[in-house]
Amino acid sequence: MHDFIERITAYVHWALFLLLEALSGFLLFQYNHYQGSVWFTQANIVAAQVHEWEADVLSYLRMPAENAALVERNIILQHQNDLLRHTAPSQPTLKGRESHGQAASPLMGDLEGYLIPARIIDNSVRKKDNMLVIDIGSNDGVEPEMGVVSGTGVVGIISAVTPHYALVMSILNSHSSISCRLRGTEYFGYLKWKGGSPLRASMDDVPRHAHIRKGDIVETSGFSAVFPPGIFLGKVAEVKNSGDGMAYELEILLSTDLANIRHVAVINNHSKAELDSLHRQ
Amino acid sequence: MILPILKRMAWALLLLLVQVLVMDQVHPWGYGAPLLCPLIVITLPKGTSRSAALLWGFGTGIIADIFAGTAGISSAALTLIALLQPPLLELTAPRDSEEELHPSFSTMGRWNYLRFIILLLLIHHVIYFTLEGFSYFFLTDIAISMGVSYAASLLLIVIIEHVRSPKK
């Protein structure tokens, strides 16, 4: 005990030194305007830098949730955009290009509440028949034949589900065929991928009398119950004749880079279509 | 026991008065004033407890700060040299010096004491002028002020110590 007290007292002067220096520092910054202001600004710069780092780290950590929310918001907006376009036929850009009435879509109205966010856990773009796996399954309400979309456009269609995962047939699959149309017209066709670049697909069976320009937007037609109308697919990159010369074959630059996506959403079209049909009765 | 403390206080008071009334008014070539207060810490006798030395340094500094309007600057610098004074005195004092050695030219020897003063005064001035300038933008000005004040302080302290030192 005696030793202990001796040891403590041997270091008392250090504590006293720190205390007196702290007191001097306090007096220095409290009562000297110049030093106080320099200290204040420098301390603020340091604090601001630390806060910036903190914000960077936090925003990075929050990114997955924000991405999922953005994907959902984007899809909803695309769909709302499409609905607005069709309820405002006098809009100058569409004048003269609008066809006679809107095709009856099984997926009408707002999409809000019908999107199930998901993350891609396995993906391929180099094969002939590419598939994806997402981290939600039947337990989350996912069923085969539901559409899968990302913030930039269509990704694929659910082909099989397990309780926790779902297998998605990518649009980069030789068996994939998505009903699509040229925006602002009712010329429709089917989007197919014939191998090669994962950024290019083709749209067949476009009638020869259609006026098509490079850069025209291709979107889902809404003819099937899988995708609502107006979801982006891509833009017309080239217009070619089909093999039999009876129609055009359009080369489409896809809006979604499937090699570079992580967050998607599944459109719960089953309950949505059911509810919409109930509304129409 | 009380008498040496009172004598020391009187010595400190005298130096503080000279500092406040005379030295603080003198600015050689417009640069830093000579600082004599460190002498109060420098002359603390060997055997002074380290805590007591710190209180002497801080107390002297606070009084100098109050009169010079430099709150915290002198007290910080003098507290630091008060922490270093006992071990430096141990290092520079002759080995066979008495237990309660009062640092001076006569007790420590001319060079030993001069080295002791030069070192403690330098540390004091570096801290003092760094805190006073408190910016790297004025580095040249701070260095000149420090150099001028250091030279003037050293000269005055050596003169005072020569006068004070008992002749052999």
pLDDT, tens digit, 9 for 90 and up, residues A158-199 = 988 888 888 999 999 888 999 998 888 878 889 999 888 889
Q: Does domain A66-280 have CATH number 2.40.10.350?
A: yes
Contact (Cβ atoms closer than 8 angstroms) between residue A159 and residue A144: yes
Whether A17 has its CB under 8 Å from any CB of chain B: the answer is yes
In a 3-state reduction of DSSP, which class is residue B85?
helix
**In this structure, is residue B27 part of a structural domain?**
no
Structure tokens at B51: 């805590």
Inside any domain, residue B26? no
**Phi, psi for A161 (deg, rounded to 5):** -135, 150
Neighbours of A207 (CB within 10 A): 12
Which parts of chain B have pLDDT scores under 70?
1, 30, 136-137, 166-168
Write the residue in A17, A27, A38 that is nearest to B71 by C-beta. Answer: A27
pTM of the model as a whole: 0.49
Q: Which domain holds residue B139?
A: 2-21+34-164
pLDDT score, position A126: 80
Range with lowest mean pLDDT among A64-73, A204-213, A241-250: A64-73
Mean predicted confidence (pLDDT) in A78-88? 75
From A25, A30, A38, residue closest to B76, measured CB to CB: A25
DSSP state of A113: T
Q: Is A13 on the interface with B (CB under 8 A)?
A: yes
CA distance A22 to A25: 5
B94 lies in some domain: yes
Q: How far apart are CA A176 and CA A226, in angstroms?
A: 13
Specify if B60 maps to a domain: yes
Tell me the mean pLDDT in the region A228-247: 86
What would the mean pLDDT of A120-141 be, rounded to a whole number? 86
Query: Is pLDDT at A102 greater than 60 in this prediction?
Result: no
Distances (CA, A) of B107 to A171, B46, B88, B102, B114: 96, 11, 15, 7, 12
Residue of B nearest to A25 (CA): B72
Q: Is residue B28 part of a domain?
A: no
CB-CB under 8 Å, B50 with A24:
no
Q: Which residue stretches of B22-109 are H helix?
A: 38-42, 50-68, 73-92, 105-108
Please indicate, yes or no, if residue B61 is contained in any of the structural domains: yes
Chain B neighbors of A31, CB-CB under 8 A: 71-72
Residue A164, amino acid: H
B50-68 vs B73-92: helix crossing angle, rounded to 10? 140
Report the mean per-residue pLDDT for chain A: 80
Looking at the structure of chain B, the number of domains it has is 1
